[in-house]
Chain A
Amino acid sequence: MRFSFTPEQEEFRAGLRRALEARSPTKEVRRLMATEAGWERDGWQRLNSELGLTAIQIPEEYGGQGFGFGELGIVLEEMGRSLLCAPFLSTALAAMAIQNAGSEEQKGALLPALADGSRTATLAVTEDNGRNDAAGIAMTATQSGGVWRLVGTKSFVLDGHTADLIVVLARLAGTRGDQGLAFFTVAGDAAGLDRRRLDTMDETRKLARLQFASVEAAPLGEPGKAAAAFDRTMQQAVICLANEMVGGADRLRQDALDYTKMRMQFGRSIASFQVTKHKAADMLVDVEMAKSAAYYAAAALDEGDDDLPALAALAKAAASEAYLQTAIHAVQMHGGIGFTWDNDTHLWFKRAKSSEILFGDANWHREQMMRHWKH
């Protein structure tokens, strides 16, 4: 449903929020973000198996629970709220690419281990040029003696340094644009693959640069025919990210509001100043509007709306602006303490910034929206 959640969904959200509040307080976020991996396998596998998170959106025939993007959106929104340090989004994106591009046999072989959490995965699309479209893909795939090999570099890859399985987008040699695109899967420890963690501004979201020096890879679907699966995967990716973003934005907004209510200056609560109240009202408007877009797009995905390319772009553009603006206001409402490392606001501020850019910024998505607008 595009405008409301069912009682079951609301209940699911409430339970998840309680679990994440207990398991991912900011103290834990700060501990994990300072580690090389950025997450811990034991803790994540335990949480994942208790709550069945990576199984949510994977169909039952592949070992998942077969829910839709409505439920996945709820999971991501709550993870965005708690800044959970886990390879969830990366694994979910890989699972989507496998569902969009893979054969029945490949889905059956790859998805169950992602659903039960025994393996993590990621999606490697973007290269050093930072683009998120087909024209930005330079990595080449060549076949020789029945073996496919990849040459090139992927960058800004979510959890790329730790993923057990990497879904890679490449192109057949000599092709351009939408033509010749091909998805492959590569094991994280494949020979010839050099993985380096990048030093990221948002420490809660680890990114890696992956260099492929003639790495043996398994085709996912028919090589050269991946354009449609790629488009769909990216639409799903930005809708997922938009839902994660509105969760973070709402948390920041609430924390900043709570702070103004306890902060006394000039002999009164700063929440009693109209200048503060009006800012808080504007923040609520920004966040609720962005939520409406994220929820609508997730439902549109489940219902198969043919305006999906525009709706996905709209949701990401709205979330990018709203999250960053909320973060800027949140620091300002805290005043000096909001600029300190010990105050938690910067954790979400940086997440807002990294999310704003990841998978394309607001300008790019507004242009995409205009190209596809039918609504």
Chain B
Amino acid sequence: MSEHDEATVRAEVRAWLEANWNPGYGLIEWRTKLIESGWGAPHWPRQWYGRDLPVAMNAVVDEEFARVGAVGVAKAGIRTLAAATILAHGTDLHKKKFLRRILTGEDTWCQLFSEPGSGSDMAGAVTRADRRGNQWVINGQKVWTTSAHKAHWGLLLARANWDVAKHKGLAYFVLDMKQPGVQVHPLKQMNGHASFNQVFFTDAIVEPEMMICDVGDGWTVATTTLMHERRGADGLRSWATGSDRSGRIYEEERAEVATTMEPYKWYPQRAGRVDLVLERARETGKIDDPIVRQEIARLLIMSKTAEWTARRARAAQEQGRPQGPEGSLGKLVSSHVARQAARVHTYITGADALLRGKDSPMEGVIAEILVSVPATSIAGGTDEIQRNIISERVLKMPKEISVDTDKPFRDVPRNIVSS
């Protein structure tokens, strides 16, 4: 993008905000106006609430919004994945029905992909979609569904054809979560939080026009959603605060952020809280223990080299050079860092690491680190899947010989469930 374009965009958005922004609006009222202008999602198509601007211009627009304290469209949560998927694969009917209410924040969404029987092997989903009369009927179970209890709509991956290979028989639906055939139960985690849900379908109904693409295209559509999930994962969590200004619209926005981000409140602990280590070691005096010092140094080395490796990847990207292998390592490395951090926090904390909650250091933060870190090497693609990705895509090693992709899915062995 040339300077001129950036300057033009900046001037345009600034002029529009000067003419239109007023903190006296209600949240939905303001966003409705904003969406019509195209400044709420400038990189989206003109036809659908955007301005056809390059993604890089979003930063310029965001700066101008921040400058005057203007509230933006609803951005956090699964709704952004829904929007990206619908924009890429949806019909005009889908776009008309869903996109506006995604941006205003009136609708919230959830992602119904993982199942108890298929986590890493997501294409092995066995939730059934059967055609009965003029409707799809859904039966089965999903899991790890963030915010399902609040969601209006779900992005559902289900099996519609059992006579073809596993990737070929999937369909992708938009499912109305507020119907009798859908039951949502919280799933309590080992750290005591319940950020996710189990979702049970008993003859849940989907109208035929709510299928995205066709039977057999489900995996391709799901790949789009997952790609945006990986790409946006960090952005989603860094956007964790509303403005601290006073006024009704800000309060409404803060309430929305608080609700959306509630499931993620333990995520900093999940990553190991390396930031606390030196201070805690000084407090407890363990900073003088030569063995603990070695472990702290190991952690700092991991954490710093992880940061620098990510910076190398970003520098390559910014200079328009092909990214080297360093770009694919971040997820795996973050697991190593988190695990070492939990080890170090244990050494530093000593007997107090036996406790949790108010009896424990930092009102339970340290205890929460110790029991949250195991999630890091599982969520968003296990360490094992990351290693497969690195070895196949970066190191060009052959895929493990598969035994389930060249036969009808109904003949593929499934979990042995003991009674």
Query: Which residue numbers of A lie inside 8 Å of B, CB to CB?
Result: 1-4, 257, 260-261, 268-269, 271-274, 276-278, 280-282, 284-285, 288-290, 292-293, 295-296, 314, 317-318, 363, 366-367, 369-370, 373, 375
Contacts and interface: CB of A to CB of B under 8 A. Distances in A.
Given A4-B315, A4-B319, A257 B395 contact: yes
B261 interface: no
Interface of chain A, main secondary structure:
helix
Given A274-B388, A278-B384, A318-B301, A367 B293 contact: yes
B210 to A, nearest CB: 38
B297 A369 contact: yes
A284 B329 contact: yes
A67 B401 CA distance: 50
Interface size class of B (residues with CB under 8 A): 35 or more
Contact of B401 (A268, A317, A373): A268
Interface string B378-402: 0000001011101110110111110
A318 B305 contact: yes
B306 interface: yes
Contact of B395 (A274, A280, A367): A280
Interface in B311-355: 311-312, 314-316, 319, 324-326, 329, 332-333, 336
Given A257-B395, A274-B388, A367 B297 contact: yes
Contact of A289 (B293, B302, B311, B390): B302
Contact of A292 (B293, B300, B305, B398): B305
A66 B227 CA distance: 47
Contact of A284 (B301, B395, B401): B395
A289 B314 contact: no
B304 interface: yes
Contacts of B96: none
B294 interface: yes
B65 to A, nearest CB: 30
A5 to B, nearest CB: 10
6 contacts: A3-B315, A277-B397, A280-B391, A280-B397, A284-B390, A285-B333
7 A-B pairs closest in CB distance: A277-B391, A366-B297, A292-B308, A281-B387, A289-B305, A281-B390, A4-B315
A280 B389 CA distance: 11
B123 interface: no
Interface string B269-313: 000000000100000000000100110111011101110110110
B390 A2 contact: no
B393 to A, nearest CB: 10
Given A3-B315, A284-B394, 10 more contacts: A3-B312, A272-B400, A274-B384, A277-B388, A284-B390, A285-B336, A366-B293, A366-B298, A367-B293, A369-B300
Given A260-B397, A281-B386, A290-B305, A317 B391 contact: no
A246 B392 CA distance: 23
Contacts, number: 116
Given A282-B387, A292-B326, A293-B305, A272 B312 contact: no
A339 to B, nearest CB: 23
Contacts of B401: 268, 272
A46 B10 CA distance: 59
Contact of B301 (A4, A272, A293, A363): A293
A282 B302 CA distance: 13
Contact of B400 (A273, A285, A317, A370): A273
Contacts of A296: 308
A326 to B, nearest CB: 14
Contact of A363 (B294, B312, B390): B294
Nearest to A261: B397
Given A4-B312, A289-B306, A293-B308, A370 B391 contact: no
Interface in B118-148: none
Given A272-B397, A370-B297, A3 B304 contact: no
A194 to B, nearest CB: 38
Give the one of B290, B297, B386, B394 with max A CB within 10 A: B297
A238 to B, nearest CB: 14
Nearest to B307: A292
Contacts of A281: 332, 386-388, 390-391, 395
